[in-house]
Structure 1
Amino acid sequence: MSAAGPAALAVSWWSSPIDRAVNGGGATDTYFPRLDPAAFAARGVVPMGHAAFAFVLGVALGLVIRRTLPAMATTFAVQAAVQIVVPLWIRPHLAATARTTVPIKPDGAPISIQDGAKQIVTHLEVPPVLGHLVTGLEVTRIRDVGAGAVALASDGASVRADAAVLASGAWLGGLAAPFGVRTPVQSGRGYSFSLPPDGLPTRPTYFAEQRVVCTPLGDRVRVAGMMEFTAPDRPPDPRRVQAIVNAARTLLPSADLTRRTDVWAGPRPCTPDGLPLVGPTRSPRVHVCGGHGMWGIALGPLSGKLLAESIVTGRRAPEFDGAASAAVRDTVSRAGRPCDAPELG
């Protein structure tokens, strides 16, 4: 007990900034709320309470059993059972249910990422086409040739332009690293599948405790969740889909979760500080636009518009200052800096 006290106080002091941040911004996949079993058992007087309970339990069982090893084994088994039963089945009933309602503006509408990407391509193909649209090209390298940039494909083809914008999502790091972009872009894959609408919410719904999202999309409802940090090209893991199903089963008892279609794993491009990378690299002819995490569908078009205006006019958009400039600190150079390597092979 004497050791549990100082250890618990030290852990509580060290974790107090994290607890305050979680209380202000909500729990994440990495940091948990104070009432989460993993956090609650390690904060404040709780470890001391567990130590006192184990001590009293051991003394009581020792007086009853009167044999040292059986008493110690029984104490350990009972203490372990308490550690499992109380957090999972008793403590959730001790706190009042928290309900939060977030209004959705009438002019807002859910967007399917896959359908939205197809619509963008279709829009670019409608005359008059501003430029030459090339599809089906796997770009593996970018070269700065002084008067422009050349995109090299895996099949040996190449495309030349006055400037190149690297907007390859979770694959951004491999193309941008030769141009001085050192901030890693990690794939944080989200999983989703579609279900018939029967027994599912009729409006976009986020179940915060289970981290499951239901989004009505026409004649189906998309159920999504999960954050899996892995390689973007890795095949989808069926266990991740099953984890979403298990989390949603108690929330959606009337839904038939076996009628899953359109199972999909999408690699979100995540940066260490959560801020996107938008701006020129050490080459004035190569720019980056990526790392928006889960906000790409909302912030991607705006970032692209501002970056395009900056490339055409030569003036940095003021929106890239402040918070946005922090995202490109020490990773991409300021506009106008000479390229250190005019031709990168």
Structure 2
Amino acid sequence: MDAKLISAVEDPRWEATEAQLRAQGARRFAAAMVALAGLWVFAAVAAVANGPVRIPPGHVVSSLASRAGIDVGTHTERERLVIERLRLPRVVLATLAGASLAAAGATMQALFRNPLADPGLLGVSSGAATGAVAAIAAGLGAVSMWWVSGAAFGGALGAVALVYVLGSPGGRPAPSSLLLAGIAVSAFLGSVTAVIIALVPPDEALRGILFWLAGGFAGASWDYVRVAVFPVAAGLAVLGAAGRPLNLLAISDDIAATSGVRVGRTRAALLGATTLVTAVSVSVSGTIGFVGLVVPHLLRLVIGSDYRYLLPASMLAGAAVLVGADTVARTVVKPAELQVGMVTALIGAPVFAAILLRQRSRLAIQV
């Protein structure tokens, strides 16, 4: 190492500057988390308040507070039933799905060192779509939507298993091989899904397929929440604790290994957690795009690329974004209801294009 560089690194002013940068990053992160928490609360109250039956925000707060034994206002029994049985499950499920997709997207972008990576990169979304479409076409959706969700979850896990086998030459998964295998498997499963749709008679089954593929929370219930909450919480806990390893893996495997990270095990664990939360989310909501792609990019503009900060911020921002998107989907064309995936695509695509135009030189992408 050059003597001047050694002297500069050992200069006490260098340590002072590093400490200042860390403190500045921590302050930005704290401010961002407070703002995002406020955004989620606003989105959640707006989601519960708006719909075919509009409920004043004060009555929403009163109803929720009464469940905790706190008397802060008035509300009717009808309003309480609408809130607790219809709208609150949608908010909770959208929160879980949004947090999962955003955190999974940020993790994928680090593991593959690719700014265009998203939660469906390993075939999770295409596998879930094939499983769900096959179940609906077979008439299982008319029996119970649990069959559709179960088939979607199984299809997602099966697709990822196939990608992992194809992308592990010599038994060791490599990011480039997994990426190519994911593209191939997704393309194949997309074709299978298209064939199934082409063979389905134009009846309610086809309508159900199209609505599932667009993604949404119209069928949300507390049963879905109870099924999703524990695997999602476990997966997000793993991802949230992986900030430091992801910072190193985002640079290179060699640097991560020399810093004490067990690269193979860590990558496998993170891919497993990402697959779990994405598969659960897609199985209960259908395919919803752009959340996992756009949210991490927007947050990098504010708090930087430190994954110790980016991951928890992505979870909170993704939750707020998807709760807000669901509210827009339910209210923008009343009395009809759009699918949430339509809203996220209509908003997310232009936003992501703007991000690419702003950062194309740094991302080395020609737009």
Q: TM-score range by the shorter chain?
A: under 0.3
Structure having the higher helix fraction is 2
Higher relative contact order (CA 8 A, sep 6+): 2
TM-score normalised per structure 2: 0.23
Structure having the higher strand fraction is 1
